[in-house]
Structure 1
Amino acid sequence: MSGALQDLLVNLSAASLAFVAGRSFGRVRDLWRFRDTRGFWRPFATPDLKMVTSVFIEGEQYIWERSGLVGVGDVLAIHELRQQLQRTGVSHLPLTPSHQLTGSERRGNLILVGGPHSNRVTAEIVQRLPLTYTFGPADEHDARITDSRTGEVLSPQTDAHGQLAVDLGILVRAANPFQPGRHVVVLAGSFGFGTSAAARLLADPDFLNNPLVSGGSPFEAAFSVEVVAGEPQRIDLKELRPLDTASRRPAGT
C-alpha cells in the first residue's frame, strides 16, 4: 500500500470516527437536555394516545368553513406538543377533532387541546374531575376562571384598543375518568393564547422539576400570559395544586 493511500485511509477513518463521536455527543446532549420532558410524557407514549383539538363547527363558523375551524393558538400548541412528544419517541400522532373522537378512543391516553367551551371532550373530562379552577358558562361565553377554593375570579384583560393583553389558562394532568390506568392532560386557555401558553409551560424546566409535576401526581395549574403583538409572551404561574383524587365530581355538575 502506497503512503498516499495509507494517509487517505487514515484520514477517512479519523473523519468517520469524528462524525460518529459528534452524533453520539449530540444524542447524549439531547437526552440530558430533554430528560424532564421525556419523564413527563413517557406514561402517555402508548398506541392508544390521541391528541384532541377544539373545532368550531356550528352556526356561522360552519358556513364559512364546512370542515370546521381551528384557532391559531391551538395550532401553536399542537406544534409545540408534537415537538415535545417526538423527544419521547412518539414520531407520529394524528390529530383528532373533538367531535370525531369515538367512545372507545375516550378510554385511551388523551391530550386535550382547548377549553370546555370549544372542545367537547375537554368539557366531558373536566366535569368529571374535582377541579378547583373552572371556566364560566359556555352559553354566556364566559372566559373567566373561578377559584372555588378562594372565590377569586380571574378575568382576561384588554388594552385601550380593545385588544387582548392578558389571557388566562388552566393546565391539568389527571387519571382518565373514563378508564383507570390511562391519563389525560388538559391545556385550556380562556382564548387560544392561553392554550398555546399551556403547551409552552410543559417545556419549562422549572415547572417540570416541581416535585408535584416530576413525581407524576395529578395536578391542576392556573396561569396568566401576557399577549404582545398577537403572540403569547411571559407566563405567570398563579398556582399549582395537587388534584384531590379521593373525590370525583359527578357528571353534569
Structure 2
Amino acid sequence: MRSVHDIVVNLVAAALAFVFGRFYDRLRALWRFRSVRAFWKPFVTDDLKVVTSIFIQEEHYIWERSGLVGVGDVMALNELRQQLQRASVESLPLTSSHQLTGMERRGNLILVGGPHSNQVTAEVMQRLPLTFRFGSVDVHDANIYDASTGEVMRCAVDGRDQLLVDQGIVIRAVNPFNPARRVVILAGSFGFGTSAAAQLLALPDLLGHPLVAADQAFEATFSVEIAGGTPQRIELRTVRGLDSRLLPAGAG
C-alpha cells in the first residue's frame, strides 16, 4: 500500500506541476504581449478589413490573371496574423485593394503597402493631415518627403543596385471615410519596408512611445537594414502626432 500511495502522490504532484507550468506560461505571454493587444483591441470589430497591395497592370496580368502580391507584403501579413491572434482575431479578414467596396472603406482598416501599390492607401493618405509622404507614383519615386523640415529620406543601395537599407511610414489615425472607425497604414518604400513596418508594431520602441501608448493618432518613419533578402535591424526615426482624434480604446 505504501508504494501505491507514493505513486499516487507523485502523479498528483506531477499533474499539479504541469498545470502550474502551463498557467505560468500563459500569464507570462499575456504580460509580454499586453502592449500589442492594447494597440489592436479597438480594431477587433466585425467590419475590420486587412487590405493588401496587388499588381494587376497589363504586364502583371499576363503572368498571373489573379494579380500579383509582393513577398514583403506576404511577410507583413504573416506578422499581422500573429499579432491580431493575440487580440483574439482568429483569421485575417483579407481583401485586395482593388476589391474593397465603398461600404467596406467605412470599417476599421489595416492597409498593407504604400500608395504606389495600394490604391486604398493612396486614398486615405490624401485625406489625412500628414507631414510625411512618398514621392510621385508617376516617376516611381520611393523617397519619403518631410513637409515640416524639407528633408528627403532615401533608401541605400550598393554598387550592384541591391537594396541595403529600406524605409517606410507607419500611421494610425481616424478612418477619413468614417470618424467612428480607425485606420493603420504599413507602407514601405519597397516590400522589405512594408514587412518591417508590421514588425515595428510589436516592438517597444514604437509601442512605448508616449503618443502611441496614449492611443493618439500618429505618423512615424523608420529605416531597416536588409541582409540575406530579409529585414534585419529596424530603426525608428521620428514619431509625430496628427491633428486627428482617436476614439477611446474599445469604442465602436
How far 1:172 sits from its partner (Å)? Answer: 0.2
**Post-superposition shift, 1:61?**
0.7
Measure the CA separation in 1 of the matches of 2:215 and 2:55: 32
Alignment correspondent of 2:148:
149
Aligned match of 1:250: none
Equivalent in the alignment of 2:250: none
Paired residues in the alignment total 245
- What amino acid is the match of 2:46? P
Alignment of structure 1 residues 81-230 onto 2, 5 Å: 81-230=80-229
| 1:15-30 to 2 correspondences below 5 Å | 15-30=14-29
Residues 61-113 of structure 1: per-residue CA shift (max 9 Å, x gap): 11111111110111111111111111111111232111111111111111100
Note the C-alpha offset of 1:217.
Answer: 0.2
Q: Assess if the C-alpha contact under 8 Å between 2:48 and 2:93 holds in 1.
A: no
SS of residue in 2 equivalent to 1:237: strand
Q: CA RMSD in A?
A: 1.3
Which consecutive unaligned segments of at least 5 residues does structure 1 have?
247-253
Within 5 Å, which residues of 2 pair with 1:233-244? 233-244=232-243
Corresponding residue SS for 1:27 = helix
Cα separation, 2, equivalents of 1:227 and 1:59: 30
The one-character-per-residue Cα deviations of 1:9-40 (angstroms, maximum 9, x if unpaired) are 32222222111111110110001111111111
Q: Deviations over 1:142-193 (max 9, x none)?
A: 1111111111111222101111111110000000011112110000001001
The secondary structure found in structure 1 opposite 2:219 is: strand
TM-score normalised to structure 2 length: 0.93
C-alpha displacement of 1:8: 3.1
Provide the rounded CA distance (Å) in 2 between the counterparts of 1:68 and 1:12. Answer: 57
Q: Please give the alpha-carbon distance, in whole angstroms, between the structure 2 residues aligned to 1:210 and 1:222.
A: 13
AA aligned opposite 1:167: D
1:71 maps to 70
Aligned residues with identical type, % of pairs: 65
Amino acid at match of 1:111: I
Which amino acid in structure 2 is aligned with residue 46 of structure 1? T
Instruction: Find the residue that maps to 1:139 and give its secondary structure.
Output: coil
Task: Could you tell me which runs of 5 or more consecutive residues in structure 2 were left unpaired when the two chains were aligned.
Answer: 246-252
Residue 52 of structure 1 deviates from its aligned partner by 0.7
2: distance between equivalents of 1:43 and 1:13? 42
Deviation at 1:239, TM superposition (A): 0.9
Alpha-carbon separation, structure 1, partners of 2:174 and 2:166: 27
- Equivalence for 1:251: none
